[in-house]
Amino acid sequence: MPILVRPTTPFPGQKPGTSGLRKKVAVFQQPNYLENFVQSIFDSLEGFQGQTLVLGGDGRFFNREAIDVILRMAAANGFGRVLVGRQGILSTPAASCVIRKHRAFGGIVLSASHNPGGPHEDFGIKYNIGAGGPAPEKVTEAIYACSQAVGEYRIFDGGAVDIDRLGIQHLGEMAVEVVDPVADYVELMERLFDFSAIRRLFASGFRMRYDAMHAVTGPYALAILEGCLGAPAGTVVNGTPLPDFGGGHPDPNLVHAHDLVAAMSAPDAPDFGAASDGDGDRNMVLGRNFYVTPSDSLAVLAANARLAPGYTGGLAGIARSMPTSQAADRVAAALGIRCYETPTGWKFFGNLLDAGLATFCGEESFGTGSDHVREKDGLWAVLLWLNLLAVRRQSMETIVRDHWAVHGRNFYSRHDYEGIGTAEADGLMDHLRGSLADLAGRRFGAYIVRLADDFAYTDPVDGSVSMRQGIRVVFSDGSRIVYRLSGTGTEGATLRVYIERFEPDPGKHDQDTQAALADLIRLADQIAGITLRTGRSAPTVIT
């Protein structure tokens, strides 16, 4: 078959970040840029000849062009079959589901997640391993090493695949199977949750608003919520995936999902609101006029997991990323199971899930999931909440307040300083690192520093060590301030500051979060010199 071997030269900076390679579309559109990275993925792998690759993305601008290139390169590099989502669509959790179900060698997911899309916005590419999860660091490092040495790439020349048509086509000797992006995922959700109970809930007049933010979960939410579960038409809004997400920022948080937040605080608000991000792995859930932090959501879901058919046997363990609040730790302690603390990045949960050490995982960055796939899963979290609401027949607010009454409340907030200069951001972190020894034991008003370190993680399964994963300042009452730089941005640097305080007294659970954390917020600036070093007097996003 006509395979071209084209010479190329490396591009600097093709280093996967927290979740794959994310850059502006224009960067990916440079001749050979995408091809180099895809060839580097293939060069870093062994044993895929004749095997199956899964391919799909969140439908953002450049998705189709990238799929065409990757199909041709997969054919030229010797894959036997590619399963590609119709119209190039596969949500990140659905891609993980398809990889696992069809025992694929791995998968390529095209997304820049919650970052905006469009000709002047972001694109991304990520490799997932055969277990279905994001490639671990040793694989992403190997990909990066290959990208810095790549001298040629292989691409199939000729033929065409119609990705809008279900069924099998061929590119040379390689089969391309265009699959329904929703079917396998729906079947998995049906096995995990009590669809009959949720159907009865909707039949009783329960109202929900699901904002797909013109991103990938639209077709999934329509099929499941309005299709299988009988939610009234119009429950899913912004349900058509668009290449530019309708000009929006598909990040389900209080700032970017403002339409949903407004609808949930209106006088005729539905009972339950939810939104998902660009590629469908994040979620935000809201009750009527009531916001639940992702950290609390993880804790409440873990405490109530047995109410869902897929988890009646209980949880083996819980895992959370280090900056995520310690609410889940309290649930784990109450259940008599372990809570693992990993660095930021879903890839760190893979080994724990594979080894059966953890069943639920969650992150403060609006990510929750379980061992059903190896990615966080926005709709899964929404369905688990629905299952819980259907069984308990209480409002979300009542369920969360009951939870706090039993376990105490971890007041929690993340302050993001976006688009600051890389030099300022690095300087601030270096300064913090340099002051760790001085911080230990210091008193700041009522707060005494019990521990100050740069978080390092030793994977309990394979012993791999990940250093410099964020600065922790932990106080003697368990309150914490955590500082780290985002690994998912494409412009300048984003400083994330995570602030947490535990409040056992139910009489004090009603406070406003920012007010409850006010002393620690001031301290966060004092310790790191944020205003001084960045010139910013306030964060750009507070969640």
For 499-542, give the DSSP string: EEEEE--GGGTTS-HHHHTHHHHHHHHHHHTHHHHH--SS-SEE
Residue 520 vs residues 414, 415, 495: alpha-carbon distances, Å? 12, 12, 17
Q: Which of 346, 412, 475, 502 is the binder for ligand G16 (CB under 6 A)?
A: 346
103 vs 96: CA distance, rounded Å: 10
Q: Which of 72/347 has CB closer to ligand G16?
A: 347
Alpha carbon distance 99, 43 (integer Å): 20
Residue 121 in the binding site for ligand G16 (CB under 6 A) = no
User: Among 137-145, 159-167, 305-313, 359-367, which window interacts with ligand G16 (CB under 6 A)?
Assistant: 359-367
Using the rule CB under 6 A, give the single segment among 44-52, 74-82, 463-471, 482-490 that binds ligand G16. Answer: 482-490
Nearer to ligand G16, 250 or 270 (CB): 250
Q: Which one of residues 367, 369, 378, 470 is an interface residue with ligand G16 (CB under 6 A)? A: 367
For ligand G16, the binding residues in 295-324 under the rule CB under 6 A are: 321
Q: Whole-number minimum distance, CB 466 to ligand G16, in Å? A: 13
DSSP-based three-state secondary structure for 422 = helix
Q: Please, what sign has the CA dihedral across residues 76, 81, 85, 91?
A: negative
Is residue 488 involved in binding ligand G16 (CB under 6 A)? yes
For ligand G16, which stretch binds (CB under 6 A), given 174-182, 257-265, 340-348, 387-395?
340-348
Q: How many residues bind ligand G16 (CB under 6 A)?
A: 17
Closer to ligand G16 by Cβ: residue 14 or 488: 488
* DSSP label of 360: E
Q: How far is the CB of 86 from ligand G16 (least distance, A)?
A: 23
Q: Does 363 bind ligand G16 (CB under 6 A)?
A: yes
Residue 342 within binding range of ligand G16, rule CB under 6 A: no
Integer Cα distance of 250 and 275 in angstroms: 9
**Cα→Cα distances 454→197, 339, 469, 500, 533, Å:** 46, 20, 6, 17, 20
Does the CA dihedral 368-458-418-296 come out positive or negative?
positive
User: Smallest gap, in angstroms, from Cβ of residue 92 to ligand G16?
Assistant: 7
State in angstroms the smallest separation of the CB of 216 from ligand G16.
12
Min dist CB 367 to ligand G16, Å, is 6
Any contact of residue 19 with ligand G16 (CB under 6 A)?
A: yes
Taking CB under 6 A as the criterion, the residue among 86, 403, 496, 501 binding ligand G16 is 496
Least Å from the CB of residue 290 to ligand G16: 24
Does 325 help bind ligand G16 (rule: CB under 6 A)? Answer: no
Which CA distances in Å does 213 have to 181, 455, 494?
A: 18, 34, 23
Query: d(Cα 365, Cα 252) in Å, to the nearest integer?
Result: 10
Amino acid at the residue 55: L
User: Exposed/middle/buried for 356, CB within 10 Å: 0-12, 13-18, 19+?
Assistant: exposed
CB of 184 to ligand G16, least distance (A): 21
Q: Considering Cα of 88, then 94, then 95, then 97, what sign does the dihedral take? A: negative
What burial letters (b/e) apply to 488-506, b meaning 16+ CB within 10 Å? bbbeebbbbbbbbbbbeee
Alpha-carbon distance of 244 to 149, in angstroms, equals: 34
Asked whether position 377 contacts ligand G16 by CB under 6 A, the answer is no
Stretch that binds ligand G16, among 38-46, 233-241, 284-292, 362-370 (CB under 6 A): 362-370
- Candidates 190-198, 298-306, 327-335, 360-368; binding stretch for ligand G16 (CB under 6 A): 360-368
251 binds ligand G16 (CB under 6 A): no
The 3-state secondary structure of 428-495, one letter per residue? HHHHHHHHHHHHCCCEECCEEEEEEEECCEECCCCCCEECCCCEEEEECCCCEEEEEECCCCCCCEEE
Q: Which of 487, 506, 509, 536 binds ligand G16 (CB under 6 A)?
A: 487
Q: Name the segment binding ligand G16 (CB under 6 A); options: 163-171, 339-347, 383-391, 432-440.
A: 339-347
What would the x/- binding string for ligand G16 be over residues 98 to 117, using CB under 6 A?
---------------xx---
| DSSP secondary structure, 116-180, as one string | --STTSEEEEEEEETTSSBPPHHHHHHHHHHHTT--EEEEE-S----TTS-EEEEETTEEEEEE-
- For residue 303, give the amino acid letter: A
Is the CB of 114 or the CB of 409 nearer to ligand G16?
Answer: 114
Write each residue from 40 to 69 as x if it is in contact with ligand G16 (CB under 6 A), else as -, in one continuous string.
------------------------------
Q: In angstroms, give the least distance from the CB of 320 to ligand G16.
A: 11
Does residue 539 belong to the site contacting ligand G16 (CB under 6 A)? no
Indicate which residues carry an active-site annotation: 113
Cα 18 from chain centroid?
A: 10
Q: In the complex, what is the shortest distance from the CB of residue 159 to ligand G16, in angstroms, rounded to a whole number?
A: 33
| Helices and strands, counts by H and E, the chain | 18, 27
Residue 368 interacting with ligand G16 (CB under 6 A): no
Q: Which of 36, 87, 140, 344 binds ligand G16 (CB under 6 A)?
A: 344
Distances (CA, A) of 335 to 181, 252, 332, 405: 37, 30, 5, 16
Q: Point out which residues bind ligand G16 (CB under 6 A).
A: 18-19, 113-114, 281-282, 321, 344-346, 363, 365, 367, 486-488, 496
